[in-house]
Amino acid sequence: MSQANVAEPYRQRMDDDIGKAAAAVPQFTVNFADAAQDNSKQVEQVDTFLAQRIDLLIISPNEATPLTAPVKRAFDRGIPVLVLDRKVDGDAYTSFIGADNVEIGRQAGQYFAKSLLPSGGKIAVLRGLAGSTPAKERLDGFNDGMKGSNIRSWPPRTATGCGIRASSRRTRC
């Protein structure tokens, strides 16, 4: 299991749940790797897993594009690949398990347009990691959901780890 960043409680819970499920299957062993939000580290970890001749790769990519090639290498070797939460580019993986982020964004945009600011207004949009698929998809959906409204937004800003614990230090905002 190659995780984008276990400093996020959601991702640590994901790993805990995978570990618990694996413990119920005696012949199943899971090796966990934490990329700590570092694309090159995650690429290296996946390549190490491939050198170990794994039978299954589970990955929650830090960002889509940098992790596409290593995921494709695994898939091209016939190794099943489960992509969790964040996608990679293309379709060289076995299955994706995650949310419909475009729809999530669309519903949020519609809520802003119809309930919060029905007469229009100005908003600031913060998004997650720019290279992650949820950030892009949610923003696309949000903009679609606000079409036809009188709401204007400044160019989106990327939230760069505010409140996310990185190793032993907390990122300042």
Using one digit for the tens of pLDDT, what is the confidence trace for 42-62?
999 999 999 999 999 999 999
Token pair, residue 121, equals 């207004």
pLDDT digits (tens, 9 = 90+) for 73-104: 999 999 999 999 999 999 999 999 999 999 99
Helices and strands, counts by H and E, the chain? 5, 11
User: Is the pTM value of this prediction over 0.95?
Assistant: no
Residue 18 DSSP code: H
Contact between residue 61 and residue 88 where contact means Cβ atoms under 8 Å apart: yes
